Amino acid sequence: MEYHSDPQEDSGSVPLGVSIVMPCLNEVQSLPHCIANARAALAQIHDRFALAGEIVIADNGSTDGSQALAEALGARVVHVSRKGYGAAIIGGFDAAFGDYLVMGDCDGSYDFTDSVAMIGALIDGADLCMGSRFLGGIAPGAMPWKNRYIGNPVLTGLLNLFFRTGINDAHCGLRAIRKETYRALGLQGAGMEFASEMVIKAALRRHRIAQVPATLSPDLRDRAPHLRPWRDGWRHLRYLFMLSPTWAFGVPSVLMIGTGAIIFAIASLYATGLLTGESPVGVSWTIAGAFAITTGHFAAVMALATHFYGARQGYRPLRPFLQRYANVLTLENALIGGGAAVVASITSVALVVYWWGSHGFVALPTTLPLLIAIVLGVAGMQTALGGFLIAVIGGHEAEFCPPNAVPDTAMQGRVPLR
C-alpha cells in the first residue's frame, strides 16, 4: 500500500481511493495517535477494498509545531489560511487526491477504523455516510451532558423535521463522502455549521445518506476543545432555518395570513349583518389582523425568493408547482399584480373618503374597509418590490424560475437511506 506524502506528487501516479482529512489547530499532543490510527484504518481499507489511501492534515494556522510533526509522521500537510472548522475541512477536501473523502477530528476522540464501514457504504452506492455515536457508543466523559441530552437531540430532531434526513446523529464529526458528491454540494460554511450544511444539502439534493456506528472517546488534549456548545449550537440552529425557506418563511406566512384572514372574515360577517349581536372582533383585533396578513405576505415573498435562490445555486430542487407556472412567475407579472393591488387600494381609500365626506365627516362606523384597502396597498407594494428582489438575487433575470434548475420530480427515488 502506498501513500501520497508530497503535495506536488501527481495524483495519477498511484491509484488512490481514500483520503482521510483531519482539521488541525495546535494538536501536537494528539497527532501521533490520530495519524497512527488513520494508518491502521487505511490498512484495513486496502485489505478489504484494495484501495490505497493518504492522510491529509488541513492545518488552520497551528503555532505548536503540528505541521512539522505531521509531515515527520508521513502525513501530507495542507495549509488553510481561512479560519474555522469548516474552512479547514474544505481546504483539506479540495487538496485531497482520493475519490472517497473521510473527515474526522484529530483530537483522538474518533476511531478512524470506524470509517472502514463508511467506505463500504459508499462503494455500495451511498453518496454520504454518517457516523452515529449513539449507535456505536459514547465513552464516559467523552460528550458533555448538555450536548448529549439537549443540544444534539434537539438539533438532530429539527434537522430531520425540516429535511427528513433519517439519521440520529447529525453532528458526528466522523463521516465519509464521495468526492463528486462533495463538489456537487458547493459547501461554504467556515465554522461548525459546516457539519449541518453537508447533511442538509445532501438531503435537499436527494443524495443517498447511509449511517454506521461510530465510537466516541475522551479527547487526548490537555486544553479546552475549540467547540463552544452554546455559540456553535446557535450557529447550527440558524443554519437550519437559513437553508429551509419552508420553516423560516413559509410556515410563519401560512399561520399569519390564516390568522389575519379569520379575523377579517369574522369582522366582515358582523359588519355586513350576516351575523348579529356584539362582534367579538373590534377595531383592535382588525388592526392586528391587518398586521398579520401584511407580515405573512412579506414572509411568503421571502419564501419564494430564498427557494428560487437555492434552486439557482443548485443545492435544492425546484418544487414542481413552481416549475409548472414558470411562465407566470416573472418580474413583469409581479409588477402588474402588485400595481393592480395598489390601484385597488387607492380606489378603495378614495371610496372610503367619499363616504366619509358625504356623511359630514363623522367617525367611520367600522375601520374594516379602510384596513382592507391598506392591506391591499401594502401587499401590492411588497409584491412589486419583492419581484425586483427575486430578479436581482437571481442574477438580474426577469424569469424567477432558474432555467437549469432540477425539478423535484427528477429527484424522486433518490431518497436518503433510513
- Calculate what percentage of the chain has a pLDDT beyond 70: 91
- Which has the minimum average pLDDT: 220-229, 281-290, 350-359? 220-229
Cα 234 to Cα 236: distance, rounded to the nearest angstrom: 5
Domain-located, residue 2: no
Q: Does residue 67 sit in the same domain as residue 181?
A: yes
Domain-located, residue 261: yes
How confident is the model over 42-57, as a mean pLDDT?
A: 96
Q: How many domains does the chain have?
A: 2
Domain-located, residue 190: yes
Domain-located, residue 135: yes
- Residue 415 vs residue 74, higher pLDDT: 74
Cα 21 to Cα 114: distance, rounded to the nearest angstrom: 14
Give per-residue pLDDT as tens, 111-157.
Answer: 999 999 999 999 999 999 999 999 999 999 888 878 788 888 888 89
Which pLDDT does position 51 carry in this prediction?
Answer: 94
Listed residue (156, 154, 195) closest to 174, CA to CA? 195
Last residue of a domain, one of 242, 271, 286: 242
C-alpha distances in angstroms, 187 versus 94, 183, 197, 205, 216?
A: 11, 8, 7, 13, 25
Q: Which of 9-18, 125-134, 228-237 has the highest mean pLDDT?
A: 125-134
CB half-sphere exposure, 145, CA atoms < 13 A: 0
Which pLDDT does position 418 carry in this prediction?
Answer: 31
Last residue of a domain, one of 201, 220, 242: 242
Q: Does residue 143 sit in the same domain as residue 273?
A: no
Which pLDDT does position 33 carry in this prediction?
Answer: 96
- Rounded to a whole number, what is the largest CA-CA distance in the chain? 96
- Which has the minimum average pLDDT: 194-203, 223-232, 377-386? 223-232
* Model confidence at 11: pLDDT above 70: no
**Judging by beta carbons within 10 Å of its beta carbon (0-12, 13-18, 19+), is residue 276 exposed, middle or buried?**
exposed
Which pLDDT does position 412 carry in this prediction?
Answer: 42
Domain-located, residue 336: yes
Q: Does residue 151 sit in the same domain as residue 70?
A: yes
Q: Which of 248-257, 281-290, 398-407 has the highest mean pLDDT?
A: 248-257
Q: Does residue 230 sit in the same domain as residue 301?
A: no
Cα 304 to Cα 254: distance, rounded to the nearest angstrom: 13
Amino acid present at 193:
E
Contact 286, 371 (CB under 8 A): yes
Q: Which three cell numbers stand for residue 326?
A: 414558470
51-76 CB burial, b ≥16 within 10 A, e <16: bbbbbbbbbbebeeebbebbeebebb
Which pLDDT does position 8 carry in this prediction?
Answer: 38
Give per-residue pLDDT as tens, 363-400.
Answer: 888 889 999 999 999 999 999 999 999 999 888 889 99
Amino acid present at 360:
G
Mean residue pLDDT across the chain: 88
- Residue 125 vs residue 232, higher pLDDT: 125
* Model confidence at 409: pLDDT above 80: no
CATH number at residue 30: 3.90.550.10
For 29, which DSSP code? T
Q: Does residue 341 sit in the same domain as residue 395?
A: yes
For residue 301, what are the domain limits?
Answer: 245-411
Domain-located, residue 9: no
Domain-located, residue 6: no
How confident is the model over 212-235, as a mean pLDDT?
A: 77
Q: Does residue 318 sit in the same domain as residue 228?
A: no
Last residue of a domain, one of 198, 222, 242: 242
Q: Does residue 189 sit in the same domain as residue 284?
A: no
Q: Which three cell numbers stand for residue 93?
A: 477536501
Amino acid present at 54:
E
Listed residue (29, 30, 96, 28) closest to 58, CA to CA? 96
Are β-strands 100-103 and 175-178 bridged in parallel, bridged antiparallel, or unpaired?
A: antiparallel
Q: Does residue 381 sit in the same domain as residue 353?
A: yes
Q: Does residue 368 sit in the same domain as residue 380?
A: yes
Give per-residue pLDDT as tens, 314-360.
Answer: 888 888 888 888 899 999 999 999 999 999 999 999 999 999 999 88
Q: Does residue 222 sit in the same domain as residue 276?
A: no
Q: E strands of 90-174, at which residues?
A: 100-103, 128-132
177: left (phi over 0), alpha (psi -120 to 50) or beta: beta
For 2, which DSSP code? -
Contact 126, 181 (CB under 8 A): no
Q: Does residue 257 sit in the same domain as residue 233?
A: no
Domain-located, residue 11: no
Which pLDDT does position 281 carry in this prediction?
Answer: 86
Q: Does residue 273 sit in the same domain as residue 396?
A: yes
